[in-house]
A and B are shown apart, each in its own frame.
Chain A
């Protein structure tokens, strides 16, 4: 209907000035690379020297970086990590579903849903406010101690439940922030079409909200992997940290913990990189970070 702009005809060859600028930028880039390399080498050497020359270094090296202890504990710690990863997979799905349900429950309109809203708010207050460690003891030992019919007594399952309770409360708040970030005009447009408030939430608001909170959710997932190691306080689940504990006691050496830490980082670092990449693609982080 309206005329667009005239198409650009392009027979461009770089001007002498542009060639000169490009050459200058290349020289600068080479120089930057050299400076960065020199600076990295310098800082690394300095840190290594500070560490090695510390008075307690020989003892710390023996008890935290023992090659022999690492070699002997690695197989068991790796087996333990497999349990952490399986717990993570189950808890991650459970916390996302529960968190979304709680966030939606807090949005339900009308007096009928008052108790649901109140319950959802209390849920978030309770489980977000309580230290995870305390929650693990309460669920892992307290609930197990009730010996209720049908409640699993497995410490692994109960530990997973405690993680789910705590993390779903956080995730509910992330979802809620996403829901509230969708402009009210979107709701108005949905309602104006005759959609009910529930349909508007499900078909208009939530799809936009969920897309927006993917980076913070990935952040919580990375955090969940690490905190799955806390179930070791229940004693029974033989996860990576618990195996590290056992080997550490057996060898009178802290190296197995370092091994466990390194294995966790092998999982969490790729996940956080993925988070950054996603966030950048969606424009949450500045593209021109060099400025």
Chain B
């Protein structure tokens, strides 16, 4: 897509959880800057594991992950500094229940990026405004709907201006009528040119938002390409079967 090294390069990634079969078995994936890559695949195909490995939340068993041409799976790398450059949004939101919405958003800017309180507050409010929740800055997470909580979680990642955002099935825990507001927000981020890797079961959404769709199966990327091709006319029989089983 773009010349030069990709923003993210995953090569030969292998990961098995203790006492289980390998989830990822030599997975390769390149992501260019400003690209939106959507991961699809059955439950257990390794979408979440891949995202968690990229964010260094799980140690990898083999293979390498490079960010900006620098290997981050090297144990000598400062993992906290790498995570500070990435933004992760979880399926179950994982907001901090003891902090207000504003407290959730200002935590990392103040404690990780060293912003003064006032500046962190201003930035947080600007991002909250962006996700349409400026009015709820003083609320606690349990006072918000699921869709609002997830939008706050996205804002919490966004406020640190990450070079790459990772979305781990961010609508799977939401009521169907609340899914739309979260997906609209992700679409907005794409329009801003954010680089994102999005694991999802929402095939319709994948079609709209993806530059490239990767179908994960057997611990690897079985096939990838433009959404119209992978989701509309897949090469592999395994992909066809997966798509046939989904609604829409």
Pick from B90, B108, B157: contact of A195, CB below 8 A: B108
Q: Residue B92 at the A interface, CB < 8 A? A: yes
Q: Please report which residues of chain A, range 164-218, place their CB below 8 angstroms from some CB of chain B when the two chains form the complex.
A: 185-186, 188-196, 199, 203-204, 207-208, 211
Q: Residue B5 at the A interface, CB < 8 A? A: no
Kindly name the residue among A2, A190, A191, A199 whose own CB sees the greatest number of chain B CB atoms within 10 A: A2
Known contacts A186-B96, A193-B84, A194-B81; is A1 also within 8 Å of B184 by CB?
Answer: yes
- How many Å from the CB of A182 to the closest CB on chain B? 10
Expressed in whole angstroms, the Cα–Cα distance for A186 and B112 within the complex equals 17
Residue of A nearest to B159 (CB): A193
Expressed in whole angstroms, the Cα–Cα distance for A2 and B157 within the complex equals 22
Known contacts A186-B96, A188-B94, A208-B98; is A195 also within 8 Å of B132 by CB?
Answer: no
**A2–B108 contact, CB under 8 A?**
no
Q: Please report which residues of chain A, range 75-115, place their CB below 8 angstroms from some CB of chain B when the two chains form the complex.
A: none
**A2–B177 contact, CB under 8 A?**
yes
Chain A residues with CB under 8 Å of B84's CB are 193-194
Known contacts A194-B80, A208-B98; is A1 also within 8 Å of B111 by CB?
Answer: no
Pick from A1, A189, A195: contact of B80, CB below 8 A: A195
Residue of A nearest to B153 (CB): A189
**B97–A208 contact, CB under 8 A?**
yes
Chain B residues with CB under 8 Å of A186's CB are 94, 96
Residue of A nearest to B145 (CB): A2
**A192–B88 contact, CB under 8 A?**
yes
Pick from A191, A199, A207, A208: contact of B57, CB below 8 A: A191
**B92–A1 contact, CB under 8 A?**
no
Q: Please report which residues of chain A, range 199-241, place their CB below 8 angstroms from some CB of chain B when the two chains form the complex.
A: 199, 203-204, 207-208, 211
Chain A residues with CB under 8 Å of B157's CB are 192-193
Expressed in whole angstroms, the Cα–Cα distance for A199 and B110 within the complex equals 12
Number of chain A residues whose Cβ lies closer than 8 Å to a Cβ of chain B: 19
Residue of A nearest to B97 (CB): A208
Q: Please report which residues of chain A, range 1-43, place their CB below 8 angstroms from some CB of chain B when the two chains form the complex.
A: 1-2
Chain B residues with CB under 8 Å of A185's CB are 90, 92, 94
Chain A residues with CB under 8 Å of B88's CB are 189, 192
- How many Å from the CB of B9 to the closest CB on chain A? 21
Q: Residue B211 at the A interface, CB < 8 A? A: no
Expressed in whole angstroms, the Cα–Cα distance for A185 and B181 within the complex equals 24
Q: Residue B203 at the A interface, CB < 8 A? A: no
Pick from A188, A195, A196: contact of B107, CB below 8 A: A195
Chain B residues with CB under 8 Å of A194's CB are 80-81, 83-85, 108, 112-113, 160
Residue of A nearest to B86 (CB): A192
Chain A residues with CB under 8 Å of B47's CB are none
Q: Residue B14 at the A interface, CB < 8 A? A: no
Expressed in whole angstroms, the Cα–Cα distance for A93 and B67 within the complex equals 48
Residues of A whose CB lies within 8 Å of any CB of B are: 1-2, 185-186, 188-196, 199, 203-204, 207-208, 211
Q: List 18 A-B contacts (CB under 8 A).
A: A1-B132, A1-B147, A2-B177, A2-B181, A188-B52, A188-B94, A189-B90, A191-B83, A192-B55, A192-B88, A194-B83, A194-B113, A195-B80, A195-B107, A203-B111, A204-B96, A207-B98, A208-B97
8 extra A-B contacts, CB within 8 A, seeds A192-B86, A193-B160: A2-B145, A185-B94, A188-B90, A189-B95, A191-B57, A191-B83, A194-B160, A196-B80
